[in-house]
Amino acid sequence: MNSGTLVEWWSFGLQALGYLGVATAFVIGLRQYGKAQTYQKAHVILNLIDQFEEDSKIDAACQMIDWDNREIQIENGKTLKFSNEMLIAALRVQKMDEGFTSEESMIRDCFDAFFDYFHKVNSFWESGIVAFNDLRYFFYWFELLRTVGEYKEIAELQTVFEKYIKTYQFVGIADLIDEYSKHPYKLDLVFTGQVEAGHDGRGLSSGQNQPP
């Protein structure tokens, strides 16, 4: 092998090592980026859960969806002796938002906060910040709203919720429930609720209602 050929081989070897180094750096960088993205997503989800659990109006709405009769603390020491009949009356849709009792107005405020919150969650999903499966913590509430008439054994409630959501254009929760309804592993709350609680109130606090 003459000196010219040897130099060429050395040059080729150095180029190959250079390419290998670039490829290795790219792979390492890609992994680090993936870890950073995963961390960022986890941070977003944890913040969403914290906001959900810490809002007193949202928590009150959760209890009203989950229970049939219960004393519920709304905020600022206000307490509501809740029943499903109150829920039907409070969420009725009429031309003018007038004629509601103070208790009914409190209930409406709670559900407006609840549905507004899920508008934000939906925007995170639609923008690709989180995937739908990342929202599994909230599947319990999607299922309850999707089947609330069966769950509470009051068919009218299903109509009441659907009409309220449509009339006041709470698009976020509507889109999330629609997407959840296509999920292959939906929760079965109607049967378990009837068996375990006998419709006296089946839920726990919002922080405890996590799907498996």
Domain ranges for the chain: 1-54, 56-208
pLDDT exceeds cutoff 60 at 95: yes
Return the percentage of the chain with pLDDT > 90, whole number: 59
Helix (H) or strand (E) holding 94, with range, is none
Give this prediction's pTM. Answer: 0.74
209 CB-near residues (< 8 Å, 6+ apart) = 62, 66, 140, 141, 203
- Cβ atoms < 10 Å from Cβ of 87: 23
Token duo for residue 103: 């208790």
Give yes or no for a contact between 70 and 63, defined as CB atoms under 8 angstroms apart. Answer: yes
pLDDT exceeds cutoff 70 at 51: yes
Predicted local distance difference test score (pLDDT) of residue 188: 85
Question: Would you list the DSSP string of 144-196?
Answer: HHHTHHHHTT-HHHHHHHHHHHHHTT-HHHHHHHHHHHT-TT---HHHHHHHH
Q: How many residues does the chain have?
A: 212
**Phi then psi dihedrals of residue 16, to 5 deg:** -60, -45
pLDDT exceeds cutoff 70 at 33: no
Tell me the sheet residues that pair with 70. 82
Which whole number is the average pLDDT over 107-112?
A: 97
Predicted local distance difference test score (pLDDT) of residue 92: 95
